[in-house]
Structure formats: C-alpha cells, structure tokens
Amino acid sequence: MGNLQLDDSALERLQARLGVRFKDRSLLAQALVHRSLVNEADLADKDCNERLEFLGDAALGLVAAELLYRRYPDRAEGQLTHSRASLVNLESLGDIGGGLDLGEFVQLGRGEHLSGGRERRSVVGRAMEAVLGAVYLDQGLDALRTLLEPMLIAELDRHGWEGPAKDFKSQLQEHLQANAGPTPEYELVSMEGPDHHRLFTMSVRSGDAVLALGEGSSKQRAEQAAARAALTAILDAEGTTDVPAAD
C-alpha cells in the first residue's frame, strides 16, 4: 500500500481540523480511500470514496448556490452560475483541502503514492468532495453549511465573486512540458463578422498534432478557449481531474 491505514488518532486530528465530530467515523474513513487503493487492498469498488465524492459534489453545489444567492442579491443568474463554477471546481477544492493538509490523510495505492498523488490537487480536491459528502450524511445540511460557508467566503474574499482567474494556456503548457510534450503553438484558423463583432477561431497544436480549436471575440480569448479544450481532452483521457472551470 502507499501508506498505513488511518488509525483513530489520525481521524481525531482530521475531525479537529474540520471542527466536526462524526457520529459514524467510518464515513470519514471511507471518504479518504482513493480508488488506487481498491485493487491493492482487495476492496470492492463501493469501498473507495467515489460515491461520497458524488454526493459531496451535489451538496457543495447547493450550499455554494445558496450562499451566492444571499450574498449577491444584484447578480443575474448567469453571473451566479459563473461564480458557483469557480467555487466548486477541483482547483478551489484542492486549495481548501490543502489548507486542511488533507493530503496527509488520503489513503493511496503504492503507485499513486510514489507518483506524488498526495500533493496532486485533483486527488486532494476529490477527497475534499468526499469528506463533504460524509459530513452531509453524518451531520446533515445545516452542519455542512456551517463547515463550508467560511471556507467559501474566504475563497470569495481572496479572488472576488468571479473566482480565481484561469490561464488555460499556462496550464496546458505546464502539463505538456511535465510530460515531455512539445510546446503548444497557436494558429489563426478563421476570422468572421464585422469589425465590432468579430469571431476568431484559433487552433492549438503540439508538434504535428492539432489538439483542439477554440473561438472567442479576440485572438487571446480564442487561444484560451482552445487551450481549455485541449487541456480538458488530455485530462479526461488521463482520468486525473474534472473539466477545468470556465474562465
């Protein structure tokens, strides 16, 4: 295994950090079981944290939506949707989980552990979602709201209501370089419409391979859209994280 099974003292430490005392601590323990451990520990699929992650994602979305609805009474539905997306994506969840040092508690298979999974934002973010699902099941929505709202408000205060800025071009370049891929290059595919309402289409390629196309009202926006589409496709194929949040 990538690490020892959690003992009672570890669960006590995590509960103290969360400020939540579980009635059923097995829920918290399950929230920390990464899928990579399933085969190595001869567990069933249902024993990993993915079902709790699914529930936590839904509960988080509800709490975030309610908070934004109350905090920004003058914002339109589209703006609230944008802000919620910035709060519930794996990057923000990874930051929140990182603030709790959640990675030290996640139970990983040996391969995932050796490849640095404990520090990987997607792993920590997914575990955070699962912990939220466990809190919801064990304590109910009010307790989850009490836990989550200060964290979400801190994210809003840090980044503004629109959430953290996303530079998908930088993310794509870093990911390709980390995997020894050629540096991405952007090319104009087409430019349509009148001067005051242009629509640009850009392609992004790595070596000889065209990774994706993107559209936008400027070349820069189209490049970001293309980078996001490429990054989404790459990460989806790797199965390492969710689709990046919209910029």
Which residues are tagged catalytic?
A: 57, 129
Q: Is 130 exposed, middle or buried (0-12, 13-18, 19+ CB in 10 A)?
A: buried
CB 38 within 8 A of CB 45: yes
CB 92 within 8 A of CB 162: no
CB 16 within 8 A of CB 105: no
Query: Hey, what are 231's tokens?
Result: 């990054």
Strand order in the sheet with 185-192: 185-192, 199-206, 209-216
Q: What is the CA radius of gyration of the chain?
A: 20
Q: Is the dihedral of CA 138, 142, 148, 150 positive or negative?
A: negative
DSSP one-letter code for 192: E
DSSP one-letter code for 115: T
